[in-house]
């Protein structure tokens, strides 16, 4: 079962780029960055920082996992969780390779061993909240 509506997943599958909205959680400025985004075979929404751990948006989502994806003028609230386990890392790499195969130079940057650990799964806040309720009655 996926966190996102089928129409949202379809839009994310075809979008070449999206804007990710982040903040450090201190009530300060909100930042946006243009990133690649993929939906894997299990309908998980995955992103990875091309700058590795130096990427501002990545660091901010680790500090404050609440953010948003901006797609075609629509703001979609998300919660990020590290996805450094081998299955999601491999799935993200496969989805990136399939979606961005014509962007060879840039694609090579996104599948470098040294940045694989920056893979994140984006989930809908309400799905995360309901999962927490189920885990902690």
Domains of the chain: 6-132 (2.30.110.10)
Q: What is the pLDDT of residues 23-51, one digit of tens each?
A: 988 888 999 999 999 999 999 999 999 99
Grade residue 134 by pLDDT with cuts at 50, 70 and 90. Answer: very low
Distance CA 132, CA 137 (A): 8
- How confident is the model over 85-129, as pLDDT tens digits? 999 999 999 999 999 999 888 999 999 999 999 999 999 988 766
Q: What is the CA radius of gyration of the chain?
A: 14
Which string of DSSP letters, residue by residue, matches 28-69? ---EEEEE--EE-TT--EEE--TTGGG-HHHHHHHH--EEEE
With a threshold of 0.85, does the pTM exceed it?
yes
């Amino acid at each position: 079962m996926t966190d996102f509506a089928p129409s949202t997943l379809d839009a994310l599958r075809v979008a070449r780029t999206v804007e990710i909205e982040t903040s450090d959680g201190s009530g300060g400025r909100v930042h946006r960055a243009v990133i690649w985004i993929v939906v894997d075979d299990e309908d998980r929404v995955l992103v990875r920082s091309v700058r590795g751990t130096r990427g501002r948006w990545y660091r901010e989502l680790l500090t404050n996992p609440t953010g948003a994806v901006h797609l075609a003028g629509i703001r979609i609230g998300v919660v990020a969780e590290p996805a450094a386990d081998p299955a999601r890392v491999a799935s993200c790499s496969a989805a990136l390779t399939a979606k961005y195969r014509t962007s060879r130079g840039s694609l090579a940057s996104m599948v470098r061993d040294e940045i694989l650990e920056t893979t994140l799964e984006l989930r809908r806040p309400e799905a995360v909240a309901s999962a927490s309720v189920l885990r902690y009655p």
